[in-house]
């Protein structure tokens, strides 16, 4: 299975951003990728006022564009993320959602993930309070890439959805793995301040500890006012923790890699960390809740 991570530098104009991203998605599909992952905020990026101005529902221009592109190219497309106007009935205190969609080759929205962990930090060069503009999601999402038949669903790769800052929370990825995920996607706008020390390290850690493929698609360079510079270095990591492909060029582009699903099964058989777990011995500290994630199948 060939996959691609698309690296972009989002500007202030949504129409231009979609056009630039579309050209890279077409390049990836033309090279044989059947799953293409776009970065966080690939269509709209900027400060709170800019995000609010361009927020849209799932029926808006960004998802409509992604659906048409996935259908025309016959691929699964992870539409990185966009500022989403909350659906009716959402209790967000007037805030938006940072939302990612998995689009099927038919153009249908196959799964929707709203970012759970919001980037509230005071790191020099990357200070942010995402929760002032975005409300946290509360649902973990996995979705198989196969057809609707049980036979195909059982053998198909299963995608676990996440976004950027989620990468620092290993429990999320473990639950996604236990829910069946074999490929994790991480659309991101990882900052230039934290990226050199943490981006590759965390992508590889999540891959090794869960024996999954991880696709990290990042923003790179200078984004519109209100967002810090981004690290880029989009990459694909295998279940052994090896980097299959990466983009070190600090410019937009495409990263392509082949996922060896048989090798993944072999790793899980020979080094059975998932079956060697001891959940009966695990205890959350007082005040913490372990709960299971819900899935979208």
Active site residues: 40, 115, 164
**Side-chain half-sphere of 139: how many Cα atoms within 13 Å?**
15
Q: Burial-class residue 11 by CB neighbours within 10 Å (0-12, 13-18, 19+).
A: middle
Nearest of 286, 295, 262 to residue 111 by alpha carbon: 295
To 5 degrees, how large is the angle CA 237–CA 100–CA 212?
25
Nearest one of 226, 192, 165, 195 to 12, comparing CA atoms: 226
| d(C-alpha 132, C-alpha 52), whole Å | 12
Of the candidates 177, 182, 239, the residue with the CA atom closest to the CA atom of residue 211: 239
């Amino acid at each position: 299975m060939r996959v691609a991570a698309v690296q972009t530098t989002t500007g202030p104009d949504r129409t231009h951003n979609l056009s630039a991203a579309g050209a890279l998605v077409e390049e990836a599909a033309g090279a044989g990728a059947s799953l293409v992952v776009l970065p966080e905020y690939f269509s709209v990026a900027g400060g709170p006022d800019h995000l609010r101005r361009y927020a849209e529902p799932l029926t808006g221009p960004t998802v409509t564009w992604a659906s048409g592109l996935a259908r025309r190219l016959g691929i699964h497309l992870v539409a990185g993320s966009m500022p989403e106007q909350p659906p009716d009935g959402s209790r967000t205190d007037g805030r938006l959602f940072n939302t990612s969609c998995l689009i099927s080759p038919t153009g249908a929205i196959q799964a929707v993930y709203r970012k759970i962990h919001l980037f509230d930090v005071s790191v020099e060069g990357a200070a942010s309070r995402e929760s002032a503009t975005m409300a946290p999601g509360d649902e973990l999402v996995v979705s198989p890439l196969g057809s609707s038949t049980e036979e195909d669903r059982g053998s198909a790769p299963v995608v676990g959805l996440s976004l950027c800052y989620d990468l620092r929370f290993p429990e999320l990825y473990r639950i996604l793995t236990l829910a069946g995920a074999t490929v994790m996607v991480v659309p991101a706008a990882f900052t230039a301040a934290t990226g050199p020390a943490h981006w590759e390290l965390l992508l590889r850690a999540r891959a090794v500890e869960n024996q999954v493929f991880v696709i990290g698609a990042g923003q790179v360079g200078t984004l519109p006012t209100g967002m810090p510079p981004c690290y880029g270095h989009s990459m694909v990591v295998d279940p052994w923790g090896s980097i299959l492909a990466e983009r070190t060029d600090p410019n937009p582009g495409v990263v392509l890699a082949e996922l060896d699903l048989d090798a993944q099964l072999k790793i899980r058989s020979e080094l059975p960390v998932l079956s060697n777990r001891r959940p009966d011995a695990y205890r959350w500290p007082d005040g913490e809740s372990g709960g299971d994630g819900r899935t979208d199948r």
